[in-house]
Structure 1
Amino acid sequence: MAEILTIEGLKPGAEFPSASELAGRFGVSRPTVTKALDRLEAAGVLASGGQGKVRTVRAVPIREERS
């Protein structure tokens, strides 16, 4: 799910897609998406505005290319 940051070119401060939107996009349940979003928050990638609020990008993770 973190790939969305790169694919959509999201920068810190940008709004992250909602759990409902992501559930539809990936064909999974909202609770599954919520768990993934919670992990991104715990990793410091997303910031939550609280229940019912829009999540925003806090930091864009740097991915190392592997050979």
Structure 2
Amino acid sequence: MAERLAGVITEDALSVGATFPSATELSRRFGVSRPTVTKALDKLESAGLLSEARQGKRRTVRALPKRTESPES
């Protein structure tokens, strides 16, 4: 799930400093429970991709995910 959420940064063309969708929005978007989304968001925070969410303050993008695709020949 964390990989799918990291993909949101690319899919939604979010830049560093942009507001990341809430856990509620993401749970609806992917059809999973909020606790599942929250665990994945915690992983992205630990990896340094997202800021920590606090009451009244939404998560923001801190870094862009590294591309894992291999270059085409």
TM above 0.5, one fold?
yes
* Residues 42-61 of structure 1 aligned to structure 2 (within 5 Å): 42-61=46-65
TM-score by length of 2: 0.84
TM-score by length of 1: 0.91
The alignment-based identity, stated in percent, is: 61
Q: Which has the higher strand share?
A: 1
Stretches of structure 1 that go unaligned for 5 or more consecutive residues are: none
* Residues 1-67 of structure 1 aligned to structure 2 (within 5 Å): 1-66=5-70
Distance 1:49 1:19, change over 3 A: closer
Runs of 4+ in 1 over 6 A off after TM superposition: none
Query: After superposition, what is the alpha-carbon deviation per residue over 1:27-66, rounded to whole angstroms, capped at 9, x for unaligned?
Result: 1000000000000000000002423420000000121323
- How well do the aligned residues superpose, as a CA RMSD in angstroms? 1.4
Stretches of structure 2 that go unaligned for 5 or more consecutive residues are: none
